[in-house]
Amino acid sequence: MTKEFDLNIEKILENWEVYHAVREIIANALDEQKLTGTAPISIHKEDGIWHITDYGRGLNYHHLTQNENEEKLNADDLIGKFGVGLKDSLAVFYRNNIHVVIRSRYGIITLKQMSKEGFDDITTLHAVIADPDDPDMAGTDFSLEGCTDGDIEKAKQLFLCFSGERVLEETGFGEVLEKTVPDAANIYIHGVKVAEESNFLFSYNITKLPAKLRKALNRERSNVGRSAYSDTVKNILKSVENEDVLKALMTDLGEVVKGRGHDEMSWIDVQMYVAEQLSRTNNKLLFVTGEEAVNRRSDISDAQDEGYEVFIIPDRLKDKAGSIDTVTTVDKYNRKKADSFSAEAIDIRSLSPTEQKIYNMMPEILNFMDGLPGVITAVKVSEELYSAEERSDTVGLWDPKTRIVWIKRSQLQSVELFAGTLIHECTHAASREGDVSRAFEEALTRNLGRQAAYYLR
């Protein structure tokens, strides 16, 4: 016994290709799997015919009516919402001469065009429903005779579960995904691809849809514009806590400065969030602009000498980053260094005779560089030299704020120790260069050469 069910389709979606129709069948199968908690769906080939099979409750003729599915509308994490995708896909299959057979415990459905009942001049697509061949069958099986391997594969690649993209972090707004193709990032909504970005660092799966994005979704679920999902992608990124993801974003921020970064890091609010989060987990990060990297090498070198890792940031982020408590800029570093430096000058007259003798050799030691550089106002001795923040002891220090060279008292044990530290710090002062920089090394090398020439002449 058979029955004909009018699908009320006279004209079909001309812009849909076969793989779009396959996508709808896969989407419905995945939703059924999720709703029922049944086994994963199967996409397989038997005797040259492709099958898409789920193991849920089974499709019946009620699913062919054009009504939005209340069950799906009330579920936040499902793919299908429109209630018309199945009918559209059946029409596309019919147009492309793909023979469809739908089997479930409710019956066997095929397609044919017939006159609309009572209107012989109007031909519409009908579902022909026959009795089931297996009343105990679990789920629904779609067989698609004439569907190519390419159409199946193209449809599968529209789903996150078949893409091979790895989830790096889940947030309340969606997931950050590792791309599988360098120049192609995918935007998914509930696991279905809706857009592609050529210059995104990551792919994203949006799981919380704001009204703006819901409105932008069309029946085709494709070619959704960036303006519809950019705010949600920003919210995903501003919820990230994974340190590897944050570091990848910060590294990319350095590339933005060079004009080679990805688009996510051009968003200032994302830049600020990433800088703040990384600074919370690591207080040894120094954020500098490209101009500061060139013009403030001494300060940056001092920071690197203390273990700071330098990140180059865009100019427009500097002022905003400076307003974040946890973020260290060059200016903040200098203020912190000035506040934390601790030394107490010893009256030279209180030194031992040997120490005074070595200290008083200062003019002779510096003869090769024509005496104490003019930028230095005094050379003072302290029992201890350390940074209150680091609790790290040092044997010599040039303080550009007060223009004083500090020498630790222990260096007065020998001429060699005192002379080495004194020349080192005077070179810092005269060259205005910090440690761990090529410029300072060159200045120190020149002074060593001048010293050797002075004593050899």
Q: In what order do the strands lie in the sheet with 386-387?
A: 341-342, 386-387, 392-393
Residue-by-residue DSSP string for 199-225: S-SSEEEE-S--HHHHHH--TT-----
Rounded to an integer, what distance in angstroms lies between the CA atom of residue 270 and that of residue 245? 13
Q: Encode pLDDT of 115-139 as tens digits.
A: 777 787 777 888 899 999 999 999 9
Q: What is the rounded CA–CA span in Å between residue 308 and residue 434?
A: 14
Same domain flag for 36 and 143: yes
Is 390 contained in some domain? yes
Find out whether 91 and 124 touch, Cβ atoms under 8 Å.
Answer: no
The identity of residue 32, as a single letter, is: E
> Across the strands, what pairs with 126?
6, 112
Residues 144 and 192 in one domain: no
- Please report where in the chains the tokens 């005797």 appear, as a residue: 47
Q: Which of these, 367, 457, 360, 374, lies nearest to 418 by C-alpha position?
A: 360
Residue 437 lies inside a defined structural domain of this protein: yes
CA atoms of 149 and 162, how far apart (whole Å)? 15
DSSP 358-371: HHTTHHHHTGGGTS
Which of 237, 269, 284 represents a domain boundary (last residue)? 237
Residue 49 lies in a domain: yes
Closest-CA residue to 287 (of 249, 322, 337, 316): 322
Same domain, 14 and 102: yes
Q: Are residues 72 and 100 in the same domain?
A: yes
The tokens of 92 are what?
A: 């596309």
- 142 and 83 within one domain: yes
Q: Which residues contact 147 (CB under 8 A, 6 or more apart)?
A: 18, 22, 50, 93, 98
Rounded to 5 degrees, φ, ψ at 203 are -95, 160
For 286-322, b where at least 16 C-beta lie within 10 A, e where not — what string? bbbbeebeeebbbbbbbbbebebebbbbbeebbeebe
**3-state SS assignment for residue 438:** helix
- Report the pLDDT value the prediction gives residue 14, as an integer from 0 to 100: 65
CB 197 within 8 A of CB 209: no
49 plus 141 within the same structural domain: yes
Domain that holds residue 364: 348-456
What pLDDT, on a 0 to 100 scale, did the predictor assign at position 384?
85
Average pLDDT score over the chain: 86
DSSP result, 293-355: HHH-HHHHHHHHHTTPEEEEE-HHHHHHHHTSTT-EEHHHHHHHHHHHEE--BPPGGGS-HHH
Letter string b/e over residues 382-392, b meaning 16 or more CB atoms within 10 A of that residue's CB:
beebbbeeeee
Where b means 16+ CB within 10 Å and e means fewer, 145-165 reads: eebeeebbebbbbbbbeebeb
Same domain, 169 and 293: no
In 3-state terms the chain splits into helix, strand, coil percentages (rounded to 5) of 40, 25, 35
Query: Do 49 and 107 sit in the same domain of this protein?
Result: yes
The answer to whether residues 18 and 116 belong to one domain is yes
Residue-wise pLDDT tens digits, 60-69 = 888 887 555 5
Predicted pLDDT of residue 389:
45
225, 280: one domain: no
Residue 197 falls inside a structural domain: yes
The pLDDT of residue 412 is 94
Per-residue pLDDT of the chain (457 residues; tens, 9 = 90+): 788 777 776 555 567 899 999 999 999 999 999 999 999 999 999 999 999 999 999 998 888 875 555 555 555 556 555 445 788 899 999 999 999 999 999 999 999 888 777 787 777 888 899 999 999 999 999 999 999 999 999 999 999 999 999 999 999 999 999 999 988 999 999 999 999 999 999 999 999 988 878 777 755 566 788 988 999 999 999 999 999 999 999 889 888 878 888 999 999 999 999 988 988 888 888 988 888 888 888 788 878 877 888 888 888 888 787 788 888 888 888 777 766 667 889 999 999 999 999 999 999 999 988 889 999 999 999 998 865 444 456 888 888 878 999 999 999 999 999 999 999 999 988 888 766 667 888 889 998 899 888 888 7
Which CATH number covers residue 390?
3.30.2010.10
Count of domains in the chain? 4
- Domain boundary (156, 181, 200) is at 156
Hey, what amino acid is at 5? Answer: F
Q: Do 100 and 122 belong together in one domain? A: yes
pLDDT score recorded for residue 229: 93
Q: Is 45 helix (H, G, I), strand (E, B) or coil?
A: strand
Is 134 found in the same domain as 31?
Answer: yes
Q: Is the residue at 343 inside a domain?
A: no
Distance CA 71, CA 430 (A): 77
Q: How far apart are CA 177 and CA 18, in angstroms?
A: 28
Residue 86 domain flag? yes
Residue that the structure tokens 């300072």 belong to: 440
Query: Which tokens is 323 given?
Result: 């307003």
Domain boundary residue, one of 237, 261, 279? 237
Return the DSSP state at 27.
H
What's at 223, amino acid-wise? N
pLDDT of residue 77: 56
CA separation for the pair 423, 429 (Å, rounded): 10
d(CA 317, CA 268): 7
Read off the amino acid at residue 262: H
Task: Give the position of tokens 């696991």.
Answer: 191
CB atoms near residue 142 (< 10 Å): 27
Task: Establish if 35 belongs to a structural domain.
Answer: yes
- Residue 310 in any domain: the answer is yes
Residues present in the chain in total: 457
